[in-house]
Structure 1
């Protein structure tokens, strides 16, 4: 049956398959349409029965690490050898930068003073709030509101200061995450382990996706192509040199670059890991996404991840409000910007739509999961 399906195109794994079975189905996949089409979510119960699977502490999620690479899809926008080289260099530089930055942060953290801590917090918070959560995520990935172009580009540049990649790379990976949430085509599902979803996935990027062909809307703009090529040399070569030379030596590099950056990384990483393992699921999504209140506090509302996966187009993630403990600082900022006329066409689901997903969640909790529909990837990555 699988062989017949693959003659017509790779197709989708059978309903009710475990994550491990889906991985075996996709191993060696060379069909671009499969990469760009959502598939049914794996069965959590079936995954629990996989030989050698282990449980994430405090959850009923059973994990089994799978060997990479998974895919054998020729990139659309570059030769395969160039994609393989780019992927190798990307993973190597991530490893080098993360290791060196963490060592520096750990070494200088004991030298903390109140002034250093306050400055580091603002250097962490401004790129995190205006750059990553507001711009990279809600504006560029999901197009949940419109704004003036000068404001979009300003926030994108601020986001690049957080060290999480340029907008093209970040948005591409996150769109794949939403299309394939918690399936083997997801860049960082906890079905392969909590630490895989938190950070280890960064060192095993698939060469098949490094041409970022799902972000044509960003690649068509000169500003994002400019950030793509200048992001690394500015942030990890020129900026440290300027801080060291003019702002106080290695101490300045640590407290004005390394420590805020490490804090920003792990804040975002927790959305990928903790918010797919711990917390509540007030909405039916078919995946592992949760609302994790403590992640929301440090991630400016991004910890309301189940609400976000239920309604990816929504500019508001804390959809049940403060009364339900869903703090969403990014949403509050968007509301202020809307009143100032800087953003408009802000997207939020109606109460009727919210209630339909809440009802589905109640049904799923009684053993009646909502059906998963296959959808094609678009520029909005709905």
Structure 2
């Protein structure tokens, strides 16, 4: 491995805290690091390190510190390094512009044009792309392949997901796959060890340029539809659609309630899975990371807040694994399965759940039980 600061020696010696791991990885030039699982940092060592500038996230035992970006210094495989750096800067600027504009419209225009009809319309446009698009399609179907379905249904749901404004399918899936592979390490796109705001949305404005060739999403990049959506997504959603809405559907009021309000609500319900569901809540399963089951995040994200269960069983189409854990996306999948639209639905067995569950004492398994 070719890395600045003799990275290989430092990794072998161990770097238990997140801050130490970040410093060890700083300037890494080995592209394979992105495809290799990295050891989880020690929450206890991070707390003991007394890193200058670190602060405790309220109501948690996590000590966070904003680290200097960029972390890596890689030659990308498909995009020249300089091109990747430029693309990253443009992408981050576009995100900042759009997120600021949509929040401004939602906070300024929406309260002045509130009606129950507008509120219902906003809720409906938030719900349909959210549950059919983001949680069912982008997350459980495309990222984790939790079930199978016909292409017409997959592409329809993917198009709906794009209306939520969370990126095109290739970008979304690639980012989330990196999150699972490197969860809560410095290679995670949004670890709370760098602060609650960073994990919630700060990372969107300072991503790693080396991750922008989306090399871990070849299954999507091989399909014309997803390559087209990668190009079409931004101009359609943030230029053409707002223009048509403003011109033909009711001016700024229509833009606020059919685009800005649903989009802002969808952003924060998804962002809470990355932030709150890695800080507050229960950990019924041994995952080695900070993921939690947070009931109130599950309530606003169609079941995605049962995040520790999801990290324990990433391919599971069901996240709320207990009968009382409400998971609206799972109920939708069950309905679609009954209609014959989806099949080969993955869920963990009771035995698998027992093996992953946190135990107060070691569990002895007999050969017969296995």
Normalised by the shorter chain, which TM-score bucket? over 0.9
Task: Give the conservation status (yes or no) of the 8 Å contact 1:12–1:39.
Answer: no
Task: Give the conservation status (yes or no) of the 8 Å contact 2:106–2:264.
Answer: yes
Deviations 1:47-96 (CA, angstroms, capped at 9, x unpaired) = 00232221000000000110000001111111111111110100000000
Task: Give 1:161's aligned residue.
Answer: 163
- Root-mean-square deviation (CA), in Å? 1.8
Q: 1:298 offset after TM fit, Å?
A: 1.0
Q: 1:33 offset after TM fit, Å?
A: 1.4
Cα gap change, 1:160/1:14 in structure 2, threshold over 3 Å: closer, same or farther?
A: farther
Asked whether 1:82 is paired with 2:83, we answer: yes
Cα gap change, 1:244/1:11 in structure 2, threshold over 3 Å: closer, same or farther?
A: same
Alpha-carbon distance in 1 for matches of 2:123, 2:58 = 31
Task: Give the conservation status (yes or no) of the 8 Å contact 1:10–1:29.
Answer: no
Task: Give the conservation status (yes or no) of the 8 Å contact 2:137–2:157.
Answer: yes
Partner residue of 1:185 out of 187, 199, 202: 187
Alpha-carbon distance in 2 for matches of 1:117, 1:67 = 41
Alignment of 1:31-50 (within 5 A): 31-50=30-49
Q: 1:4 offset after TM fit, Å?
A: 12
Alpha-carbon distance in 2 for matches of 1:11, 1:160 = 42
Alpha-carbon distance in 2 for matches of 1:63, 1:13 = 24
Deviations 1:141-199 (CA, angstroms, capped at 9, x unpaired) = 00010100100000000000000000000000000000000000000010000000001
Alpha-carbon distance in 2 for matches of 1:12, 1:33 = 14
User: Normalising by structure 2, what TM-score?
Assistant: 0.94
Task: Give 1:266's aligned residue.
Answer: 268
Task: Give 1:362's aligned residue.
Answer: 359
The alignment partner of 1:344 has SS state of coil
Task: Give the conservation status (yes or no) of the 8 Å contact 1:87–1:207.
Answer: yes
Asked whether 1:25 is paired with 2:27, we answer: no
Task: Give 1:96's aligned residue.
Answer: 97
Cα gap change, 1:92/1:286 in structure 2, threshold over 3 Å: closer, same or farther?
A: same
Alignment of 1:156-305 (within 5 A): 156-305=158-307
Gaps of 5+ in 1: 369-382
Alpha-carbon distance in 2 for matches of 1:60, 1:321 = 29
Task: Give 1:148's aligned residue.
Answer: 150
User: Normalising by structure 1, what TM-score?
Assistant: 0.91
Task: Give the conservation status (yes or no) of the 8 Å contact 2:19–2:46.
Answer: yes
Asked whether 1:336 is paired with 2:335, we answer: yes
